[in-house]
Chain A
């Protein structure tokens, strides 16, 4: 129960950082070799060597963050607003060093007068460190991943 509570709090914190646009803190949740991955379809088994909607290490995350913060990121004026709800948190594997946890998310996004919805599941592979969890891999299976994108995704889901 203790682990369940801790991991839930971690996931809520992560989605809260996204919605608050505290992107550096969000990136800091990943381990130094951490990967944020959104496959194009559920059957993909690895992020390496295959098409991906996102397949970002911390360097690429930094590029994305700095781009979004750049004054000439035209598509960021106005900025997006998002609201994440994370639920259905299930621990799949738990060992002394690592924990694998699945959850469901729903993200509502607002820009100008347009609202979009994205939903799906997260799979977090978390390292247990002295300072808490560190994300080794975050897999994001978006239910609408294969649908045509009306505009694109700007930041992480």
Chain B
């Protein structure tokens, strides 16, 4: 139905430009929730968020309120947060422990952690001779069609059919390998705090901005300059490595627009993307050297070099996840409406790594990703402004023409050309995937 109501969907996406309605039209938003977010693999959370049986977290998949819960059998289940009786929400808290069972606050129906019905008060007398009995599947909490986990990162798909998680992730799987491999024990553990920030724009603007190498030195110039001044002032008297947190900020200004062209984006099927490049993450201070020693002991010299040589700035897992693996951060995108998007921001500890290495990840988390961020404040401002402009009749198209026609195409990947790191190839690739999903 919905699909027929949207005129000329096929004409909305051209290889180098996109109609503005793609970002502003509520009917398109509804359709993309159904065709994309409620179909593909969406990141739910990390297994270490729910270590004990009964631990749960609420998670939004498209428009669907879900629960990620740990069962007694250690398995992670993803269920609709809904009682099958009258539709009452099962868990009202964002996270917690449900104990031995889920128990509905309305009529005391109870369910196992996998969603299967446990008991209904006076079941036998109440339902004798009705269409329902204990075995009826409609008396259980509905599970997500598919749940898979990769190195502790839990994904769910609400569609029965589709590629398995590994096939879907493809080369973007490096996000999780890179993060975990940097841990001497090969695993990461979530730090139990999630920052949540709402932007007043369509979710796609967030995904495009994450790997937009053209914007940092413009959008974040004020913070970069201010941090660079302080960095210079304290560099002389500070211990080696102490000014690193300022460097994380100053890089936004000192890496000028032309230098971003030295980086590269590599784009993959399903809209995924890797932005290569470093932000001074291999300093030669004593903390890094101590960490290197532990890593070499755990992996051997050759494997160690491979691991720390992985050259990633950002990995995008389209449509809903942005990972900065060398800094152990990720942002999960939860669309709230055509013009409102929530991001959930998490960071992780490298198991077995010394404390100072965690402090680096923490510094970035606090400075760049906290709700008092010196960086994202200006992104959020741009997102709102974009939405205002795109809602107007001042123009019909969004342009992604930068370096169009120069990208390097190989089977299964499209890269920006050398010295064209600011190519809008990732946006073109995302919209190509978007259009494919929407036409399916």
Contacts and interface: CB of A to CB of B under 8 A. Distances in A.
Contacts of A50: 193, 362
Interface stretch (A14-22, A70-78, A86-94): A70-78
A47 B342 CA distance: 26
Interface stretch (B4-12, B44-52, B216-224, B269-277): B216-224
A73 B196 contact: no
Given A74-B378, A148-B197, A152-B377, A51 B372 contact: no
B209 interface: no
A152 B372 contact: yes
A72 B222 contact: yes
A52 B225 CA distance: 23
A74 B366 contact: no
B246 interface: yes
A119 interface: no
B436 interface: no
A63 interface: yes
Given A74-B381, A151-B380, A66 B226 contact: yes
Given A51-B193, A149-B198, A154 B371 contact: no
Nearest to A148: B196
Contacts, number: 105
Interface string B352-392: 00010011001001110011111011101110000000000
B374 A63 contact: yes
Interface stretch (B134-142, B227-235, B299-307, B404-412): B227-235
Contact of B196 (A63, A65, A149): A149
B191 interface: yes
B193 A40 contact: yes
A54 interface: yes
Q: Which of B222, B372, B378 has the most CB of A within 10 A?
A: B372
Given A51-B366, A66-B229, A148 B223 contact: no
Contacts of A151: 197-200, 377, 380
Contacts of A67: 222-223, 225-227, 374
A83 interface: no
Contacts of B359: 49
A75 B381 contact: yes
Nearest to A154: B377
Nearest to B196: A148
Contacts of B199: 151
B376 A152 contact: yes
Interface of A: 38, 40-41, 49-55, 59-60, 62-68, 70-76, 147-154
